[in-house]
Amino acid sequence: MIGPCAKQTVTCTLIASDGERFVGTNYCENAQQACPRNAGEGYDKCASICRQSGHAEIVALRRAGEKARGSKAFLQGHTYACQSCQEALFAAGVDSLSVGSPPQHSTPLRFYLILSLLLLEIAAITAFLCVGVAV
């Protein structure tokens, strides 16, 4: 049964330099009711029992591919990235890693400029068609 990690759900969002977002989680293909790891154990059981494909950071990197270079990483659900995830992020060219929510999507200024031009064009066409038409 696919589901969240029993111990802690973690999400990593990579925001590429063009604004595209790539999200990875630590979901498991064989989710458990209780975490099978004992205190102080490594992450081996995450892969062998829970069939977790990787930490959220690694999943996000896989999804981003080459777009990871120059991106910014935001980690939610945990207070830090483990050493191997930090190394993988920076080896892939990620510029920064922050703990916390990623910034909200913002509509690019270009969108508003295009919308304004379209509205002006529609107004001009409407005015042209309405000239000499009785109301």
**Phi and psi of 98, rounded to 5°?**
-125, 145
Say what percent of the chain tops pLDDT 70: 81
Domain of residue 73 covers: 11-104
**pLDDT tens profile 77-98:** 999 999 999 999 999 999 999 9
| Per-residue confidence (pLDDT) for residue 122, from 0 to 100 | 72
When divided into structural domains, the chain yields a total of: 1
29 within domain boundaries: yes
Cβ atoms of 14 and 60 within 8 Å: the answer is: yes
60 within domain boundaries: yes
91 within domain boundaries: yes
Cβ atoms of 53 and 24 within 8 Å: the answer is: no
Indicate whether this model's pTM tops 0.85: no
- What is the C-alpha separation between 20 and 61, in angstroms, rounded? 13
